[in-house]
Amino acid sequence: METIECKDVTKIIKKNKVIDHLSLTLHAGQIYGLQGINGSGKTMLMRLISGLIYPTSGSIFIDGEELGKRLAFPKSLGLLLENPAFLDPYTGFQNLHQLASIKRLVNDDHLREVLREVGLNPDDRRPYRKYSLGMKQRLGIAAAYMENPDLVILDEPTNALDTDGIELVKKILQAQKARGALVLISCHDLEILRHMSDEIFVLEDGHVKAHLFAPFEEEAS
């Protein structure tokens, strides 16, 4: 996957315009940050790009193929949206194994390695329901990138993480970028985003208020 193109995208949910005539282009091998206050449209934009919802008007193209027309979802997508949701009675490893069994792109050894990378013990026998918030978040991040997808979308990945956890996320994102993935993350904290992203889109009321480039000199969007 090379590019994602949002063209004049508007999304209306229950008469609320959650995304308002938004246009942007994203390229592979870059880390993009979405910043904005609650309700600014970060998560909705991520849902749109991940194909979980479709635009009311406008279009989203993944390498020229329109989402919702020829393409239901991006072909290679790893996703963490809001709170991670896994099967309560399963361990972290079992949850990843269950998800990975759909595409069978990676083996169990790789899943164990990914769990170690996010700071979880692959042999931990505790079920997911007994995980702390931070552990759940780490497992959610692991699920998003375990299959080395072309597109990694992480909504507030630093939630519930301590300083070490935030550094870990940064390291993981850099590794994803290095292998050529397009990474899209959201965070309400601009400072954290500055440390992680190559470009930042500041959202307000569902549209791009500012487009910042590393080292983040603001320019008109």
Partner 1 sequence: MKFIKLVRYDLRHGLLKRWKWYVGAVLMAVAFWLLFCTKVASYNRGALITGDGSAITPSFGDTVFFVFAGMSEYIPDPHQSFSFPLIWMLLYLVLFWMTLEYAHNDLTKTGQQFLIRTNGRMLWWLSKCVWNFCAVLSFFAVIWLTLLLLCLLSGSPISLTLHAPLLEFTVPAAVSGPGYVAPLLFSVFCLAPLVLFALSMLQMAFTLWLKPIVSFLISVVILVASAYKLSPLLLGNYAMPVRNVIYSGTGVTNAAGVLLSAAVIAAAVLFGAVRFRKYDVLPIEE
Cβ proximity to partner 1: between 94 and 221 the closer is: 94
Cβ proximity to partner 1: between 51 and 134 the closer is: 51
Q: Fill in the per-residue mask, 12 to 31: x = in contact with partner 1 (CB under 8 A), - = not in contact.
A: -xx-----------------
| R_g of the chain, CA atoms, integer Å | 17
Cβ proximity to partner 1: between 157 and 192 the closer is: 157
* Among the listed residues 72, 133, 167, 189, the single contact to partner 1 using CB under 8 A: 72
Cβ proximity to partner 1: between 46 and 192 the closer is: 46
Least spacing, CB of residue 43 vs partner 1, in Å = 9
* Using rule CB under 8 A, residue 75 touches partner 1: yes
Please list every residue from 192 through 221 that binds partner 1, using CB under 8 A.
Answer: none
Cβ proximity to partner 1: between 49 and 208 the closer is: 49
* Using rule CB under 8 A, residue 79 touches partner 1: yes
Please list every residue from 87 through 146 that binds partner 1, using CB under 8 A.
Answer: 87, 89, 98-99, 101-103, 143
* CA 172 to chain CA centroid, nearest Å: 12
Contacts to partner 1 by CB under 8 A:
13-14, 47, 50-54, 68, 72-75, 77, 79, 81-82, 85-87, 89, 98-99, 101-103, 143
